[in-house]
């Protein structure tokens, strides 16, 4: 859930609570205010009625409520003295404009007593009251409208204000998503004076600098280590070659030396592959030119034809279009030949390898083990599905690194018993 929606959610829930409490309190205070205002009106009517009664005694005979909303009845002195002014809520039959017949309507009534010419009278003055359920209904609908208006305003305010406030954060986030641990990367910048965001930027950048440094050191270390190994490996190989040449060896000794030489060979291959990987990742191949992949594929096929036929694997190439890419020619060669070698060496007797070149992709499929390989693992370094494989386990990692360097997509699929490696050249 986005921050924007989160804040709308919390605000609308809390505002709902606040408005509900407020509506209840408002209702009661409004109701009391109405009552006291009516009571004042009743007091006024009482005085007017008593004054009118002094001039017009017919009023004193009005013993029931009619259009003038009061009733007078004579009472004895004792009762009169015991009467105190009191206001009460009661009902009277009335007919207002939405009623067909008179029906009980709530009224506010003042009961009082007065004395005129030695006679005592009880006076009831009434005034129509607001109907409680009408009031509640009205208030509820107003409250709902208020609530909706508030929510809509909040959404709008959120959209404008919050979006504006959080914009630096989202900018920063998108820069961070683009960030790669490579040399000369510009650290993400947040354009704001908001302290929290600048703090975030400082913390993240410190972390990134540290990570970049570690990454660089690690890369440098692999590069330097492989580099430093070259000379000792050369010495060891050459020493053994001379030792064998100088002869006078028992067969057993020679076998041992052969084994050591093979181990050194393996180290040499491993080391060369690591150096190549480091060079690719350090972008040390800058001799980019337009390379015809058709040509590269054809020459790789020619180079490997004999060894393929020795292994009983038939090689075929099918070019349906010319495919060219901007890249280093030697890397193009490494990329295609690694895939081809892979397809030839992980094959079965009487198997086949077919290379297909289309306008945008090169496709190499081969027969082989009937199980699908793990596409998440095959391009990782040193991955060997069976431990007795003699390769370095770096061939496909190199293919992947070259693809990443130039923005090609390399993918693996397995269907109908064929392993299929494909390189897409999006820019071609």
Partner 1 sequence: MKILAIEDEPQLLGNIKESLEKENFLVETASDYHSAIDKIFIYEYDCILLDIMLPNGNGLNILAELKKAGKNENVIIISAKDSLDDKLKGLELGADDYLTKPFHLAELNARVKAVLRRQKLDGKDTIEIANSVLDLKERTFMVDRQNIPLNRKEFDILNYFLLNKNRLVTKSALAEHVWGDNSDEADNFDFVYYQIKNLRKKLQSAHADIEIESVYGIGYKLVEK
Query: Cα dihedral sign for 363, 364, 365, 368?
Result: negative
Candidates 108-116, 184-192, 262-270, 289-297: pick the segment binding partner 1 (CB under 8 A): 262-270
Residue 59 has a CB neighbour count (10 Å cut-off) of 18
Candidates 64-72, 184-192, 259-267, 373-381: pick the segment binding partner 1 (CB under 8 A): 259-267
**135 near partner 1, judged by CB under 8 A:** no
Q: Which is nearer to partner 1, 72 or 331 (by Cβ)?
A: 331
**262 near partner 1, judged by CB under 8 A:** yes
**366 near partner 1, judged by CB under 8 A:** no
Q: What is the radius of gyration, based on Cα positions, of the chain?
A: 48
Q: Which is nearer to partner 1, 110 or 397 (by Cβ)?
A: 397
Q: Where does residue 312 fall: left (phi above 0), alpha (psi -120 to 50 degrees), or beta otherwise?
A: left
Residues found in the chain: 428
CA distance 162 to 129: 47
CA distance 34 to 22: 18
**266 near partner 1, judged by CB under 8 A:** yes
**9 near partner 1, judged by CB under 8 A:** no
Candidates 93-101, 212-220, 289-297, 331-339: pick the segment binding partner 1 (CB under 8 A): 331-339
Structure token digits, residue 54: 């002094």
CA distance 422 to 335: 11
**394 near partner 1, judged by CB under 8 A:** yes
Q: Which is nearer to partner 1, 126 or 335 (by Cβ)?
A: 335
Q: Which is nearer to partner 1, 174 or 238 (by Cβ)?
A: 238
Q: Which is nearer to partner 1, 125 or 401 (by Cβ)?
A: 401
User: What is the full DSSP assignment across 256-291?
Assistant: HHHHHHHHHHHHHHHHHHHHHHHHHHTT----EEEE
Q: Which is nearer to partner 1, 337 or 367 (by Cβ)?
A: 337
Q: Where does residue 28 fall: left (phi above 0), alpha (psi -120 to 50 degrees), or beta otherwise?
A: alpha
Question: Which residue reads 């069976």 in tokens?
Answer: 386
The binding track of 183-222 with respect to partner 1, each residue x by CB under 8 A or -, is ----------------------------------------
Q: Which residues of 299-323 are buried (b: 16+ CB within 10 A; e: fewer)?
A: ebbeebeeebeeeebebebeeeeeb
User: DSSP class of residue 160?
Assistant: I
**395 near partner 1, judged by CB under 8 A:** yes
Query: Whole-number minimum distance, CB 7 to partner 1, in Å?
Result: 57
Contact 280, 402 (CB under 8 A): yes
Binding site for partner 1 (CB under 8 A): 227, 230-231, 233-235, 237-239, 241-242, 244-245, 249, 251, 254-255, 257-258, 261-262, 265-266, 268-269, 272-273, 275-276, 279, 284-285, 287, 303, 306-307, 310-311, 330, 334, 337-338, 341, 345, 390-392, 394-395
């Amino acid at each position: 859930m986005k921050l924007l929606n989160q804040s709308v959610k919390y605000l609308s829930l809390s505002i709902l609570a606040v408005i509900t409490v407020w509506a209840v309190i408002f209702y009661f205070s409004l109701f009391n205010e109405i009552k006291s205002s009516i009571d004042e009106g009743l007091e006024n009517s009482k005085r007017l009625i008593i004054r009118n009664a002094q001039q017009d005694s017919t009023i004193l005979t009005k013993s029931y409520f009619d259009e003038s909303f009061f009733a007078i009845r004579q009472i004895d002195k004792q009762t009169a003295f015991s009467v105190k002014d009191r206001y009460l809520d009661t009902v009277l039959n009335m007919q207002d404009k939405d009623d067909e017949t008179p029906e009980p309507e709530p009224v506010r009534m003042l009961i009082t007593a007065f004395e005129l010419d030695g006679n005592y009278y009880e006076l009831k003055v009434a005034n129509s009251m607001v109907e409680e359920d009408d009031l509640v209904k009205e208030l509820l609908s107003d409250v709902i409208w208020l609530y909706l208006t508030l929510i809509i305003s909040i959404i709008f305010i959120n959209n404008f204000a919050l979006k504006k406030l959080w914009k630096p954060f989202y900018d920063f986030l998108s820069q961070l998503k683009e960030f790669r641990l490579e040399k000369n990367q510009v650290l993400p910048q947040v354009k704001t004076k908001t302290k929290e965001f600048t703090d975030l930027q400082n913390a993240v950048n410190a972390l990134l600098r540290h990570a970049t440094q570690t990454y660089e050191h690690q890369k440098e270390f692999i590069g330097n280590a492989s580099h430093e190994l070259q000379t000792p490996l050369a010495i060891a190989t050459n020493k053994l070659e001379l030792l064998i040449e100088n002869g006078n060896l028992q067969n057993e000794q020679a076998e041992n030396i052969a084994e050591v030489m093979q181990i050194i060979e393996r180290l040499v291959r491993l080391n060369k592959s690591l150096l190549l990987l480091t060079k690719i990742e350090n972008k040390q191949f800058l001799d980019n030119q337009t390379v015809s992949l058709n040509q590269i594929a054809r020459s790789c096929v020619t180079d490997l034809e004999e060894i393929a036929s020795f292994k009983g694997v038939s090689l075929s190439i099918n070019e349906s279009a010319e495919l060219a890419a901007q890249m280093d020619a030697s890397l193009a060669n490494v990329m295609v030949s690694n895939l081809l070698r892979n397809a030839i060496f992980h094959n079965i007797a009487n198997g086949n390898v077919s290379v297909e070149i289309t306008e945008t992709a090169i496709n190499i499929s081969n027969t082989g083990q009937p199980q699908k390989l793990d596409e998440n693992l095959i391009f990782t370094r040193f991955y060997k599905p069976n431990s007795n494989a003699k390769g370095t386990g770096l061939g496909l990692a190199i293919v992947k690194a070259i693809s990443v360097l130039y923005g090609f997509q390399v993918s693996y699929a397995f269907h109908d018993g064929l392993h299929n490696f494909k390189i897409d050249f999006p820019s071609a």
